[in-house]
Structure 1
Amino acid sequence: MALAPRLDLRLGQTLVMTPQLRQAIQLLQYSNLEVQAWVEQELERNPLLERDESPILDGSTAPAPPEPEPLPPLGEPQREAIEAGDGPPLDADFGNVYDAGTAADGAYAPGLGVAGRGGRPDFEEDERDIGDLAPQRRSLREHLAEQLRLTFDDATDRLIGACLIAGLDGAGRLVLDLDGLATRLACPRERIEAVLARMQRFDPPGVFARSLRECLEIQLRELNRYDPAMAALLDNLDLLAKRDLKRLREVCGVDAEDLAEMIAEIKRLDPKPGAGFDPEPAATVIPDVLMRASDDGGWIVELNPETLPRVIANGAYHAKVLGAARSKEERAFIAEHWANATWLVKSLAQRAATILKVASEIVRRQDAFFRHGITHLKPLILRDIAQAVDLHESTVSRVTANKSIATPRGVLELKFFFSNAVGGSGGEAHSAEAVRARIKALIAAEDPENVLSDDAIVAVLRREGVDIARRTVAKYREGLGIPSSVQRRREKAVPA
């Protein structure tokens, strides 16, 4: 067969992901805060974009400010005093006037301002911020550093102590390798051990421990309650976790009453003594969608205007710079940024409409949950919402990712409302989330003398119309972090 060049014409279809399409897809799966941060970067890059600072119209009008009340007319004595010039001049400085007979030190006297601070009649001179008045909490390291300065006089010991403080984790546990520290400081390990032993008596008790056992031992020694029986209990904390009380009594050599007292004393100790000094601030969840009840008994769903990014493409500025463009490169630069600006505005509007459409359909489908609680949560999958709002499943998945909604039941993720169906008698399906909540409620209300096994929970659920297998109950129970019936029976046998 001879080889020869030739031309072929073929027709095919391919999907090309343009940068604008990728941008629109990314915007869908971002939360409002993420979109806001991304838009801020675009505002810095694109001179044709600007923030829309027009007020959000909600149908409400601001009340008119009240008119100032007229000053009371001067009485005859005051008028005569002013005309005669007997009274103090109007521009007199009352800063140093203080009547010790009428105002106590530090008290407020009418017309004198705050006594003891110069007697100024106003607070304009006070430059303190309201945050300065709040009590400042010391961190764990600051608290320990102060004790370090008061305990050690030697500079080397203070250096070792500073390194040990730096090696603490958030719970006050020492996670530093002492051999490595001895090598870095070029000092014997015995000296580091001696400094550590003294620092383990610092407040709060239990800091600088290298294990849970050592942390509890330090606190028990502070309470003068560390004896051979307690030492044996600390050596067998794994048996305590399993609630194997019979084996613990044999190991510690005590009876049931003494063991119960020892366990109660262990429970009163703090396994994380440093956690109370540096509490992590709770992350505030800002919802992307807001939901409230309407007057007609339905629900109103809207996007959160506080976090919704609002930008516009400045057409007037675009026309101005385009008319001033002198070269082809400048016109190409302006055209590219104008196209990006208009596409971004369009993408944000489309994203907002899509989120609102999907959230409204979720609220409509889960109406019973919002009115009656978790037991009325219906099974729902992405395909159900996609078919109802005429979108692809992948689009619905991106819309519901990383987004939350403020509901009468709290701030919930949109993914929360999607759960698989569990079969029921009579053909009625139940939400897997509702079944988990029911299992959790049954175990929470169980009798300590009659702990429910997985088979017993299956029997209760089947009487309530939920057709579920025992292995499914066990899977849901383990997912909730609930131990088995054997473990729960041991835990309930231990006195609180």
Structure 2
Amino acid sequence: GGDWFETETAWSAEAISEKLDTSLENLFPDDPGTSERLGPDLTAQWKSASGNGSASSSDGFDVADMAAAAITLREHVGEQVALAFADPAARLIASELADGLDEAGYMRADMAEIAARLGTDKTAVTNALAVCQTFEPAGIFARDLAECLSLQLAVRDRLDPAMKALIANLELLARRDFQTLKRICGVDEEDLLDMLAEIRALDPRPGMAFSGGASDAIVADVEVRAANDGSWVIELNSETLPRVLVDHIYFAQVSPHAKNQTEKDFLAECLQNANWLTRSLDQRAKTILKVASEIVRQQDAFLVHGVRHLKPLNLRTVADAIG
């Protein structure tokens, strides 16, 4: 991958090398191996301190660390959404925002599209995003690299005017235009070196500490669409239905060859278990359809008018309604 400091500089490269005990080109650690853009204004030239975007050490695998990292970013964020949003409508907006996270923790969904899809205004989406940007790890839900760094610096109470100016001019850092950065930030060489060291300690990809799954699409069990008469058509998603068939023809061919009662009993038990499984799956499908139909019935106003008409609804209410 590229390096933020590939160009020549006329300003104090030796000072940075001495101050940070590293060469100027190694101010940021090794490239985690991706050329994706972390933000619209700066290519992915940032160097992740872990070397590969994960929390594992270079000395080998640690079972405890691997177990701790088993949770996905989606699951981690989902837990925080449930705690942070008491209002069902706001929680739904936050869940939509969470679905827009990429594996690095950046919010890639379009705010206006979310507002239109949920039948709400952009202000409600912006307010939900502001809450989500307080979640751990610091920096997630950022829309670009500068915002990601700013969120982390704010948590550290280090987002002062000078640091804001530096973050707003990352392209100058990429060009190693330190003279201009000193002037814009209003700092001397010593202060700028300290600021660069602080930025180096930040994580440009906060979501990478978690296992995969941030970008996995959620597959719905049911599909709901509006009918011409104003009602709702509710269908099971055939792609998610388990496909289990009992081959009675094969059973009829095999069973006559049973040599004794034990083998006959075994074959009969296998057929019984297979039939039980298919009946259970069929019952499961019918239950999902009944539950979905009741949810749609009770949330008709939400489906027609948008998120502001979302009603509180729990499993007990649905269970009582469907018997």
Please give the TM-score of this superposition, normalised by the length of structure 2: 0.44
Structure that is richer in helix per residue? 2
Higher relative contact order (CA 8 A, sep 6+): 2
Which of the two has higher C-alpha Rg? Answer: 1
